[in-house]
Structure 1
Amino acid sequence: MRYKNSNIRKYLNTKIIARCAALFLLCLLPLKGFSQAGESTVNALVGMGFENVGWTEDDNERVYILQNSAYRLQGVGISKAVDVIQKIGLPDGKPCRIIVLDNNVPQISLYYHPIEGEAVSKAESKDWDVSYDLGNAWSKARKIKLKNRSLFKVDVLVYPQLALKNLILTQIYQVLFDLSPAVEVSLWKGMKLTGQLKIPVYNDGYGSLEDKIHPGHLTISQRFRLPYNIFGKMTVGYFNADRYGVDAEFLHPFADERFSVMGRVGYTGVGYWDGFKLHYDTEMTWTWTVGGSFYWPQYNTQFNLKVEQYLREDRGVKFEMIRHFRYCSIGFYAMKAKDAKANGGFRFQVALPPYKYKRYKNWLRINTSANMGLVYNAGNERYYYKEYKAEASDNIMEKNSFNPYFIKSELLNF
């Protein structure tokens, strides 16, 4: 009897172990499916040229991280990524979030919450909410290992630069046209190193110094995101408008993301190039800007009102109205400073083709700059209201590229 009972006991123990193992494997099957879907989506995005791509998941939501380095226009690139995630990467019955980076710094998130009982296949671009808010997932998602990192990758971008002035009665315009290639590379999170060379193509009336090949922007910038949705950038180096020094700018959108406040401060001196010889003055000047902004989503139109101090320490008020389209941004401005006549004009930026990026051997990319712009000074003011651009890539179109309302409109129209 003891022998028989022992065999029965061994049989029952073996049966229990087998059932537990089977139950454990069944529990792993959905996890394996989740893992395959997440990894497949990441690999698909990397194959398209997106950088800093990764994913993670918990009981509350699935999170994807990506940086659009595949398409010139952020709205188009993000729309392409959403399309891929909707097709192969959405979790079943669980929210999904996409966190979009710029130079490894989080900018916005897109959030999809399925309706209870809704099939995953019914998800559409219009169902995603776009916001500066990253939710509670970023603290965990920032620690995951990303694929196709953007660090140390080199961009060679050619900036076409056109300047016009009308000061001679017998000549409609005097013209300066340069091709200005720039090497841009990121050596750590949020950092960008820019070295630019200005190559004159046509110079009529802009002086002998512009006939010589000489450096343009030579800068190191650091982008960062602080708590409470405060975005910032600090830039050090040689700017345009014959200025060198340091510049810092900040943006804070409110809970109603149509409204935001901005600030900027610069400490610069005069410096100009005679070929590759730099002449500079040690006297430095403070410039600053404080203002507010309202964004009208229905027409993708931005209204800015600023109080500023300019390079000649003249202080004034500036109003801007800028309409943003997919391939261009067009704006009007008006400004008035004490002891100076009112001035105004318009500006525009146009996205340059090609609109798809590609790296050579996953490292070097040679292309035209993201867009080309021009500012028209209607009042022909030559003394007051002088400003500078701290970084070669700064412009009205670039500053709006991660606006949540603009990205949402691109999703709806894609």
Structure 2
Amino acid sequence: MRKLRISLLFILLSLGLHSQETESQLGEAGFENITLETEVDSLKLYFEHREFRNPYHGMLYANRLLGKADPELPRKNSTFFPVFHNQLMGRYEAQTYNFSPLSESDRHFYAENNKVFKNYRFNFRLHPEVVSRFGYYEDPFETKFNMILDTRIYLASGVSLQTGITIPIVNNLDNHGMKLRAAPSMLHYFVQPWNAHFFSLSAGTFYNDRYGFDLEYRFARMDSRWSFGFAGGVTGFYRLYGLEYYSEPVDDLYGVADVEWRTGIEHTTLKLSAGQFLYQDKGMRLDLIKQFAAAELGLFAARTDIGTTGGFQFAFSLFPGKILRGKKNEVRTTEEFRWEYTYNNEDPVAQQFRIGMPRLADLLRNYNEAWIKHLSNNN
């Protein structure tokens, strides 16, 4: 009996040492919010990696690092818990990438071990802001190109503040001017209180010269082809000229509902949105979205009170990702650069503004089990 106790103590000490070494190696590779739950025959890894827009790439990277750290780690019984903005998204088996909803014990363990201020680097992010208009005879290509340096500060579980500075590079599109100014700055609250129910609440100054409040809700099971959601809020117009500030009342109401269906054909998704967009613009929009391993490409058409339009959009992680990384600080490029072109570039047909994080539909699409398993089968 004494030998058995000594053996068990030795195993537990070894597992603890392996966990510390593994956490250190994962941290050096850019992982944050790392929590390891190691037992004799299983391993659970809770993590976030803000360099990747697709959680699969974080799980793939973790799998490779775990194998290099210690080939004896029980990876056959490993489970990954990807985290987004300090919130658990679900659980995925490390070898098969099968998805299962979070259990109460998963949530309890994470809540007990999650230390918001300790688990994040001070992260500086570089990303471009590009707005273009084509077709004028005197100036056929009008564009505004800014480089934004911003950061996200986590205040509590799911609560973060995003702020930064806008650096104008080129502007022959509007009267924004070429002075340095504050980047869109907003307070976010992101949460999944119950499995498959996601909420996002934002308040502050947004992109597209909007400020005010934005609320999103989405029901999305990661093992289903269907999801639906609603986005609504109230905003007003604002503009910064260096340190000068101009604003109009917050009185522009909007509310848009949508339903999304994964077709199962070539990893395409159909999304139908309808409601009141910005500027009291009522109508609907249809998107056809195709997912690629490192990007997303979409076509859309819209018909509203203001007019009819169509166009395309794309999203991808901006190269090179990591620029500088230390234990407490990191400089990187954005995990998602998203741009949209519409042929009707005069009238704001079916417009929604950008907030400081991806819209829930765009975010959760990447966590779908079918998509993640497809990526794993091609690696």
Q: What TM-score do the two structures reach when normalised by structure 2?
A: 0.87
* Bigger Cα Rg: 1
Q: Is the 8 A contact 2:161 2:188 kept in 1?
A: yes
Q: Is the 8 A contact 2:190 2:201 kept in 1?
A: yes
Match of 2:137 among 162, 169, 176: 169
Q: What SS does structure 1 have at the residue aligned with 2:354?
A: coil
Q: Is the 8 A contact 1:154 1:365 kept in 2?
A: yes
What is the CA distance between 1:201 and its match in structure 2?
1.3
Closer, same or farther in 2 for the Cα pair 1:410/1:150, shift >3 Å? farther
AA aligned opposite 1:142: Y
What is the CA distance between 1:72 and its match in structure 2?
6.3
Which residue matches 2:196? 229
How far, CA to CA, are the matches of 1:43 and 1:85 in structure 2? Answer: 11
How far, CA to CA, are the matches of 1:265 and 1:194 in structure 2? Answer: 20
Q: Is the 8 A contact 1:300 1:323 kept in 2?
A: yes
Which residue matches 1:302? 269
The Cα offsets for residues 1-31 of structure 1, whole Å up to 9 and x where unpaired, read as: xxxxxxxxxxxxxxxxxxx423432444444
Aligned residues: 378
What is the CA distance between 1:305 and its match in structure 2?
1.0
Q: What SS does structure 2 have at the residue aligned with 1:211?
A: coil
Closer, same or farther in 2 for the Cα pair 1:23/1:398, shift >3 Å? closer
Find out whether 1:153 has 2:153 as its counterpart.
no
Which residue matches 1:330? 297
The Cα offsets for residues 115-144 of structure 1, whole Å up to 9 and x where unpaired, read as: xxxxxxxxxx4x23135x124541342145
Q: CA RMSD in A?
A: 3.0
How far, CA to CA, are the matches of 2:33 and 2:257 in structure 1? Answer: 34
Q: How do 1:203-218 residues align onto structure 2 when only pairs under 5 Å count? A: 203-204=171-172, 206-218=173-185
Which residue matches 1:351? 317
What is the CA distance between 1:358 and its match in structure 2?
4.6
Which residue matches 1:122? none
Unmatched tracts of structure 1, length 5 or more: 1-19, 113-124
How far, CA to CA, are the matches of 2:191 and 2:133 in structure 1? Answer: 37
The Cα offsets for residues 193-226 of structure 1, whole Å up to 9 and x where unpaired, read as: 111322221122x233333333331111111111
Q: Is the 8 A contact 1:270 1:280 kept in 2?
A: yes
Match of 1:67 among 36, 48, 51: 48
Q: How do 1:233-252 residues align onto structure 2 when only pairs under 5 Å count? A: 233-252=200-219
How far, CA to CA, are the matches of 2:75 and 2:334 in structure 1? Answer: 42
Q: What SS does structure 1 have at the residue aligned with 2:280?
A: coil
How far, CA to CA, are the matches of 2:32 and 2:162 in structure 1? Answer: 20
Match of 1:48 among 29, 44, 51: 29
Find out whether 1:288 has 2:235 as its counterpart.
no
Q: What TM-score do the two structures reach when normalised by structure 1?
A: 0.80
How far, CA to CA, are the matches of 1:220 and 1:72 in structure 2? Answer: 21
Q: What SS does structure 2 have at the residue aligned with 1:293?
A: strand
The Cα offsets for residues 163-197 of structure 1, whole Å up to 9 and x where unpaired, read as: 21124234431122111222322222222211132
Closer, same or farther in 2 for the Cα pair 1:140/1:63, shift >3 Å? farther
Which residue matches 1:96? 78
% identical equivalent positions: 19
How far, CA to CA, are the matches of 1:306 and 1:402 in structure 2? Answer: 21
Find out whether 1:342 has 2:308 as its counterpart.
yes
